[in-house]
Structure 1
Amino acid sequence: MRTIALTNQKGGVGKTTLACHLAVAFTQAGQNVVLLDLDPQASAAEWGDAREAEFPHVQSIQPSRLAKTAQQMKEIGADILILDTAPHSEGTVMDAIRLADLVLIPCQPSIMDLRAMSKTINLVKLTQVHAFAVLNGVQHHSTMAAVEAEKTIRDHLGLPVAPVKIGERVAYNRCFITGQAAQEIEPDGKAAAEIKKLHKWTAKQLERVPA
């Protein structure tokens, strides 16, 4: 079983959106996926409740149950475990990071987001886990802001940035109403294409992590 943690101590950066979309993408690729919602707001769990499709399995748990639940998921044959963490919770974030094979830190290309994510990066640096920032909510007319944000994260915060950038698209918001993912409601849309690229890149990163 491989574990991916979506984390950032700042709220509103798109952790749940990316967690749900990656969960569907890995499921569509034929893998058994479990998405654990560690956020008290339980947005991912509510999305899961709204889904008509049986998979991926989505479960809301108390952070204190993370290690035990992860072990149970491994025992029942899960291939991919995705952790959607809560903001403003250093202990939970650290537990998720230590458990993960890969950490993705969603971040919007704004100065406030860049400043806030330094706390999460410092936690990641306490471990040996593979971690990347993922630029999310990138506006179509402001590609320069994304370029500058990537440079700041890489050169000043010391964290590599995923080559796939996620745009600010209506499809990502629409799908939460119906418990779907963008690739399900608009298979040929731009959002679906972005998620396909992100899934492919993420899968490659997992392959590079020693078993």
Structure 2
Amino acid sequence: MHVVSVVSQKGGSGKTTVAVGLAVEAVRAGKIAAVVDLDPQATAANWGDRRGEDVPPTVVSCQASRLEKVLAVAKSQDLDLILIDTPGKSADAAIAAIKAANHVLIPVEPHISNLETLSNVSELLALAGKPRATVIISKAPPLGRRHEDARAAITALGFSVAPTVLYQRAAYSDATNLGSTASEYEPRGKASIELSLLYSYIASIL
């Protein structure tokens, strides 16, 4: 079982979009996947409620102190992939999620206020034993070079950056409102292609 934690120290960076999007892509690829929601706001859990409990992936809401127990149950059920969605500004939850992970994904918007939080994330990774981590540029403007400038800045900080950028597209939020993902909401759309490419990349490095 692979455990992937989605971590950021800034709210609104696209963590839930990445977590549920990759979980659904895994299901579409024939894997058994689930999402664990550590965020008290329960954004992923609410998405799961809108989706319906009989439609995979399963979404479990829990406190960080219960994470080890939840993962033990998941392992006994032969899941292939767990995506852990974390709060925006909780170091304790982030460290718990990072320690449990085989790989950490760090969504950041290509803005200086987001990039500046990477130093805090780097400290959390160090405290948790420095697991493998990849930054995902998310909510990038479809026009311009801001994402490329961000990629250069992130690389200079010593982080690996996913080759696929998630751009600012209405399909992501519209799909979330319905308990689905962009791949399901708009199968032939650009957002769907982005999620598919991102999943293929993440699957290749796990």
TM range, smaller chain: over 0.9
Segments of 5+ residues of structure 2 without an aligned counterpart are: none
Separation in structure 2 between the aligned mates of residue 191 and residue 121 of structure 1, nearest angstrom = 29
The alignment-based identity, stated in percent, is: 37
Corresponding letter in the other structure for 2:146: A
**Aligned twin of 2:161:** 161
Separation in structure 2 between the aligned mates of residue 64 and residue 43 of structure 1, nearest angstrom = 19
Q: Does 1:18 align with 2:13?
A: no
**Matched position secondary structure for 2:166:** coil
**Aligned twin of 1:105:** 106
**Aligned twin of 1:83:** 84
Q: Does 1:45 align with 2:45?
A: yes
How do 1:133-144 residues align onto structure 2 when only pairs under 5 Å count?
133-142=135-144, 144=145
**Aligned twin of 1:195:** 195
Separation in structure 2 between the aligned mates of residue 87 and residue 42 of structure 1, nearest angstrom = 12
Cα drift, residue 76 of structure 1: 1.2
Separation in structure 2 between the aligned mates of residue 141 and residue 165 of structure 1, nearest angstrom = 12
Separation in structure 1 between the aligned mates of residue 116 and residue 108 of structure 2, nearest angstrom = 10
Separation in structure 1 between the aligned mates of residue 124 and residue 60 of structure 2, nearest angstrom = 25
Aligned positions, number: 204
Separation in structure 1 between the aligned mates of residue 162 and residue 150 of structure 2, nearest angstrom = 12
**Aligned twin of 2:186:** 186
CA RMSD between the two structures: 1.0
**Aligned twin of 2:55:** 54
Query: 1:103-143 deviations in whole A, cap 9, x for unaligned?
Result: 0000000011011222012211342311011000011112x
**Aligned twin of 2:3:** 3
**Matched position secondary structure for 2:134:** strand
Cα drift, residue 33 of structure 1: 0.6
**Aligned twin of 2:70:** 69
Corresponding letter in the other structure for 1:114: L
Instruction: Return the TM-score normalized by structure 1.
Output: 0.94
Segments of 5+ residues of structure 1 without an aligned counterpart are: 207-211
**Aligned twin of 2:176:** 176
**Matched position secondary structure for 2:9:** coil
Q: Does 1:33 align with 2:38?
A: no
Runs of 4+ in 1 over 6 A off after TM superposition: none
Separation in structure 2 between the aligned mates of residue 28 and residue 140 of structure 1, nearest angstrom = 26
**Aligned twin of 1:119:** 120
**Aligned twin of 1:209:** none
Q: Could you tell me whether the CA contact under 8 Å between 1:10 and 1:117 is conserved in 2?
A: no
Corresponding letter in the other structure for 1:29: A
Separation in structure 1 between the aligned mates of residue 162 and residue 152 of structure 2, nearest angstrom = 12
**Matched position secondary structure for 2:167:** coil
Separation in structure 1 between the aligned mates of residue 100 and residue 158 of structure 2, nearest angstrom = 22
